[in-house]
Amino acid sequence: MISDQSKKEIDFWVKKYPEGRESSAVMQALTIVQKENNGSLTNELIKEIAGYLGMPVISVQEVATFYENYNHKPVGKYVIRFCHNISCMLNGSDDLISYLEEKLEVKTGEISKNGLVSVKKVECLGACVGGPMCQIGDQYYEHLTTKKIDEILGNLK
């Protein structure tokens, strides 16, 4: 269920668009609700968002499943979004993702045993010059190496 606090946050974004264009806030609404639900969305929540914004459920589903920002199954406290697009791939992202999977004993899309971390392969995050790179929360980590990955993991508590 979407909390009153989240509805207030959604309203903030809805007000940025002309009347009758509430659907323009759908990406922000999905982001807010996903955050409230520990990092993932459910069909129920998507239906609720659709009702709140006056949109067909399928339209909200389309947005929620098109963009990689949204998770449709539970995730760890931290989601490591690892780019595996061309620049990052040419600079070794596949090997680093394998390293990460080995180190965390998880496969991409799974949650580490302690529930702390999930790994997700994503398309270009727009930081190609810094590849290989990943995103955790709002932070980008660029020019990654196995040593840097060890440091990053060591700081996740």
**Binding site residues, ligand FES, CB under 6 A:** 83, 85-88, 124-128, 131, 133
Question: Which one, 26 or 88, has the nearer CB to ligand FES?
Answer: 88
Question: Which one, 25 or 127, has the nearer CB to ligand FES?
Answer: 127
Please spell the DSSP secondary structure of 83-109, one letter per residue: E-SHHHHHTTHHHHHHHHHHHHT--TT
DSSP-derived secondary structure letter, 144: -
What is the Cα 109 distance to its own chain's centre?
A: 12
Radius of gyration of the chain (CA): 17
What is the Cα–Cα distance from 150 to 63, expressed in whole angstroms? 34
Question: Which one, 55 or 128, has the nearer CB to ligand FES?
Answer: 128
What is the Cα–Cα distance from 60 to 153, expressed in whole angstroms? 34
Cis peptide before 18 (omega within 30 of 0): no
| Minimum separation from the CB atom of position 63 to ligand FES (A) | 22
| Minimum separation from the CB atom of position 67 to ligand FES (A) | 16
| Minimum separation from the CB atom of position 128 to ligand FES (A) | 3
Question: Which one, 106 or 124, has the nearer CB to ligand FES?
Answer: 124
